[in-house]
Amino acid sequence: MAKYVYLFKEGNASMRNLLGGKGANLAEMTNIGLPVPQGFTVTTEACTRYYTDNCTIGEDITEQIYAALAETEKICGKKFGDLENPFLVSVRSGARASMPGMMDTILNLGLNDVAVQGLARLTGNERFAYDSYRRFIQMFSDVVMEIPKPLFEKVLDEIKEEKGAKFDTDLTAEDMKDVVARFKGIYLEKKGEEFPQDPKVQLMEAIKAVFRSWENPRAIIYRRLNDIPSDWGTAVNVQSMVFGNMGETSGTGVAFTRDPATGEKKLFGEYLINAQGEDVVAGIRTPQQIATLEQVMPEVYRQFVDIANKLEAHYRDMQDMEYTIERGKLYMLQTRNGKRTAAAALKIAVDLVNEGMRTKEEAVAMIDPRNLDALLHPQFDAAALKKATPVGQGLAASPGAACGQVYFTASEAAEAGMSGQKVVLVRQETSPEDIEGMVHAQGILTARGGMTSHAAVVARGMGTCCVAGCSALKVDEEAKTATIGDKVFKEGDWMSINGSTGYIYEGAIKTVDAAVSGNFATIMEWADSFRRLSVRTNADNPRDTATAVRFGAEGIGLCRTEHMFFNADRISAVREMILADTEAQRRAALDKLLPMQKGDFKAMYKALEGRPMTVRYLDPPLHEFLPAKNMTEEIEAIAKELNVTVEHIIHKIDELHEFNPMMGHRGCRLAVTYPEIAEMQTRAVIEAAIEVNAEDGYDIHPEIMIPLVGEVKELAYVKKVVVETAEKVMNEHNTHLDVKIGTMIEIPRAALTADEIAKEAEFFSFGTNDLTQMTFGFSRDDAGKFLTAYYEKKVYENDPFARLDKNGVGRLIELAAELGRKTRPNLKLGICGEHGGDPSSIEFCDAVGLDYVSCSPFRVPIARLAAAQAALAHRK
């Protein structure tokens, strides 16, 4: 028969999946001889059973709970509902991963009309006993029976008024009996039955309540934010109660073995005398610093320090502990690896290595890569932030803090930015045309669009702070006003936004640049020595390139050439090319673009200082470079500038209109129809490399990437154009470069026929943004319409654009890698797209044997660390 209940002495720290974190650690502490109030853990598997059994607890499990209860009573020498020595327990949730405060807890369970007398007798404190009983009734009614809490608070207030008491503590034992009676009255009235006197009934109801709380809304949201699968379930810990509120020799507190903010090695924490844990949390009394305990209870303090050291040494990590002192006796209620700031995490990891407690490998594995993000972006000055109140909140779309003057159009934002102003670009939503304004803004705020909207994606790529999709924000681009509630921002007004929290503030809040501390560098160095994956960056301009190189990028994995096309000085030639009716006209326009594109590539090569660069050829549908049909003014301006008729432009816009642009005339389909574009881009790539090699003495081997290939003949056709042009250019310059030609794998068919594609491609780069869209069959621009319902109904637990979908997209990647390498064993495999900077996706990339990941500049350190962790994990 499956075992669903474990006494603490039966478990250990390795059983976290089954017992939850808290349960496993209580067992471990029991085993190493620490003073732990005894009890048992109902497993996470029992929780899963609870849900598959239609929210009931099976008889087999109930029997095991009762058996464990009897055993624990024996260990503690107490008995449920006993007049002499009543057994009281706490019932707490405890999932595999820590989810603080997300689920339910019930204390003092076991109290009834008899046990309360026993407790009074045993403690010689009738008031304490009845106070505990009324607390229990209140908590049980609220948490287990869903009777609204305010009903009880109101009664308590009434009694205090009747008795002329100011605080709860002013109430006497008799008063408390009165409270108990009235609370039981509320229960009877609301539930239609007496408050349950059988502690076993109380226990089973409490356990069910904890199981239920696994699915409460805040727990669901927490899980989604923290990538915790809903099928893990929670364990339930039933533990003998100890009381920190039995007078001046009792108390309760929490402590960390090191400072969780800085990582400094010193005991850090607080305690309250004569209090229960909930009082610490409630924050009514101000707790004391732990160091002062040495004066108050020297023996207990020494014992605690001893235990803390023992626990840190045992777990070899900074511990976050909860403890209670009952009449001078210390009990450990919980220990776990403590949460910490990113800076503290780095310092602790390095210190633990220096102290000989951890290996470098372990230190690298300890850091959560996602936390590093906070160290890489500007932040608000903490003091200045304290004084500010947000006027609204949007989605935390791209981290960091920004303050600047509000501008409503990309061109004005760009102008202001170039003249040295700090700028926050505020838009209804952004489009590729806004790119120049975005580049020159400190921050970007949009009213529409989700985490994967254009604004969000581009901002993250550039490392620029962005708050997106603030639905309360009304942007009137004509009138140049932005309104949130009753607050109106005009052009030039100061605004501050926090892309890590989504908050929007009025006025200028001081920001501070993040510093890369020595510990950070140390950890990165160790990480680099362990990782197998190379880390490249996605960058399209020298500024981002330089940032990425500073952050340790080993090259560019994705240079999107079209981003260069949107610059004011290029867009005109680009439009001339699009409006061309003949190949000759198109070539004339391309001739104008060539020197600019070449100049761009030269600047990028120089910023890379000899590192490799993969250039992706023109990808977006051409209509993205033209205004919308109803933008009459823009169209007229273009007509004038290019000396064509308005009708001609409108005709082209109509001609280029697509029902589904994502699945339209883009990517290599452009190069197949207009090979002259690929010719121009090849000439630019090769000439730039030749010139930079000559000027700076580098040895650049250009890497050319053909996007959106779905069929090997497509790639073969474009490759032929590229090879012939490259050879022509090299002959003209009497030189030779090794040029690698590869493709994006971003269309399912490319993955499915990767054996064919590899005949032509020298490398694959998985474009997982598009591959995710095509594999799931939804466009990320449109998915917002239904994804909310999907999260609510638990159809999806993660955003597949943020975290690689291993079951579907991942299967395609594995298949493509396998097929591709079958054809070409030395095929280089990488990933670009946003997943390249996501630790869980990087772990997958390492597992399936890719060679590199490429991510936005600000995620390069995260990727380096995640790659090291993946390599360490896969060593095992």
Q: Please state, in angstroms and rounded to a whole number, the distance separating the CA atoms of residues 499 and 376.
A: 13
Q: What are phi and psi of 424, to 5 degrees?
A: -115, 120
Q: Please state, in angstroms and rounded to a whole number, the distance separating the CA atoms of residues 874 and 845.
A: 11
Buried b (16+ CB within 10 A) or exposed e, 487-505: eebebebbbbbbbbebbbb
Nearest-approach distance from CB 786 to a second copy, in angstroms: 5
Strand partners, 89: 109, 240
Q: Please state, in angstroms and rounded to a whole number, the distance separating the CA atoms of residues 380 and 426.
A: 19
Nearest-approach distance from CB 708 to a second copy, in angstroms: 7
Catalytic residue among 465, 466, 559, 832: 832
**Residue 576 found at the interface with a second copy (CB under 8 A):** no
Which residue from 168, 552, 215 is spatially nearest to 376, judged by alpha carbons? 552
Q: 341 with 373: CB under 8 angstroms?
A: no
Nearest-approach distance from CB 711 to a second copy, in angstroms: 6
How many CB atoms sit inside 10 A of residue 799's CB? Answer: 18
Catalytic residue among 377, 403, 440, 454: 454
Q: Please state, in angstroms and rounded to a whole number, the distance separating the CA atoms of residues 637 and 578.
A: 16
Residue type, 727: E
**Residue 332 found at the interface with a second copy (CB under 8 A):** no
Residue type, 350: V
| Closer residue to a second copy (CB): 423 or 475 | 475
The interface region with a second copy, picked from 104-112, 349-357, 546-554, 711-719 by CB under 8 A, is 711-719
Q: Which residues contact 542 (CB under 8 A, 6 or more apart)?
A: 603, 604, 606, 607
CA 306-309-312 angle, 5° bins: 150
**Residue 752 found at the interface with a second copy (CB under 8 A):** yes
| Closer residue to a second copy (CB): 552 or 808 | 808
Nearest-approach distance from CB 107 to a second copy, in angstroms: 37
**Residue 809 found at the interface with a second copy (CB under 8 A):** yes
CA 673-678-679 angle, 5° bins: 115
Taking the alpha carbons of 505, 507, 510, 511 in that order, is the dihedral positive or negative?
Answer: positive
Nearest-approach distance from CB 689 to a second copy, in angstroms: 28
Nearest-approach distance from CB 560 to a second copy, in angstroms: 18
**Residue 756 found at the interface with a second copy (CB under 8 A):** yes
Q: Please state, in angstroms and rounded to a whole number, the distance separating the CA atoms of residues 317 and 323.
A: 18
Joined tokens for residue 38 = 């005894």
The interface region with a second copy, picked from 87-95, 565-573, 606-614, 808-816 by CB under 8 A, is 808-816
Q: Which residues contact 280 (CB under 8 A, 6 or more apart)?
A: 252, 253, 254, 270, 271, 272, 287
**Residue 708 found at the interface with a second copy (CB under 8 A):** yes
Nearest-approach distance from CB 790 to a second copy, in angstroms: 6
Q: 401 with 509: CB under 8 angstroms?
A: yes
Q: 726 with 739: CB under 8 angstroms?
A: yes
Q: Please state, in angstroms and rounded to a whole number, the distance separating the CA atoms of residues 620 and 453.
A: 16
| Closer residue to a second copy (CB): 216 or 788 | 788
Which residue from 339, 832, 784 is spatially nearest to 558, judged by alpha carbons? 832
| Closer residue to a second copy (CB): 479 or 786 | 786
Rounded (10°) angle between helices 568-579 and 646-656: 80
Rounded (10°) angle between helices 860-875 and 518-530: 50
Please give the full DSSP string across 69-122, using - where no structure is assigned: HHHHHHHHT-BTT-SSSB--EEEEEEESS--TTTS-EEEEET--TTHHHHHHHH
| Closer residue to a second copy (CB): 271 or 801 | 801
Nearest-approach distance from CB 232 to a second copy, in angstroms: 16
Strand partners, 236: 42, 93
Task: Verify whether residue 454 is a known catalytic residue.
Answer: yes
Residues 768-797 that bind a second copy (CB under 8 A): 770, 773-779, 781-783, 785-786, 789-790, 793-796
Joined tokens for residue 27 = 């067992």
Say which residue the tokens 């109290």 belong to: 111
Helix or strand or coil: residue 326?
strand
CA 479-482-484 angle, 5° bins: 145
| Closer residue to a second copy (CB): 397 or 747 | 747
Q: Please state, in angstroms and rounded to a whole number, the distance separating the CA atoms of residues 808 and 469.
A: 28
Q: 708 with 772: CB under 8 angstroms?
A: no
Q: 172 with 160: CB under 8 angstroms?
A: no
Nearest-approach distance from CB 721 to a second copy, in angstroms: 10
| Closer residue to a second copy (CB): 353 or 708 | 708
Size of the site for a second copy (CB under 8 A): 49
| Closer residue to a second copy (CB): 104 or 799 | 799
Q: Please state, in angstroms and rounded to a whole number, the distance separating the CA atoms of residues 130 and 89.
A: 16
Nearest-approach distance from CB 639 to a second copy, in angstroms: 22
Q: Which residues contact 331 (CB under 8 A, 6 or more apart)?
A: 35, 36, 37, 242, 323, 324, 325
How many CB atoms sit inside 10 A of residue 728's CB? Answer: 14
Interface characters, 811-850, with a second copy (x: CB under 8 A): xx--------------------------------------
Q: 203 with 192: CB under 8 angstroms?
A: no
**Residue 51 found at the interface with a second copy (CB under 8 A):** no
Nearest-approach distance from CB 808 to a second copy, in angstroms: 4
Joined tokens for residue 116 = 């309360």
Nearest-approach distance from CB 810 to a second copy, in angstroms: 9
Nearest-approach distance from CB 78 to a second copy, in angstroms: 46
Q: How far apart are the first and last CA of the chain?
A: 32
| Closer residue to a second copy (CB): 258 or 586 | 586
Residues 645-684 that bind a second copy (CB under 8 A): 658-665, 669, 672-673
**Residue 336 found at the interface with a second copy (CB under 8 A):** no
The interface region with a second copy, picked from 156-164, 331-339, 744-752, 840-848 by CB under 8 A, is 744-752
Task: Verify whether residue 76 is a known catalytic residue.
Answer: no
| Closer residue to a second copy (CB): 362 or 755 | 755
**Residue 232 found at the interface with a second copy (CB under 8 A):** no
Interface residue with a second copy, options 649, 747, 761, 842 (CB under 8 A): 747
Q: 34 with 310: CB under 8 angstroms?
A: yes
The interface region with a second copy, picked from 134-142, 412-420, 694-702, 746-754 by CB under 8 A, is 746-754
**Residue 748 found at the interface with a second copy (CB under 8 A):** yes
| Closer residue to a second copy (CB): 361 or 746 | 746
| Closer residue to a second copy (CB): 327 or 811 | 811
Active site residues: 454, 832
Residues that bind a second copy (CB under 8 A): 658-665, 669, 672-673, 708, 710-711, 713-714, 717, 746-749, 752-753, 756, 770, 773-779, 781-783, 785-786, 789-790, 793-796, 805, 807-809, 811-812
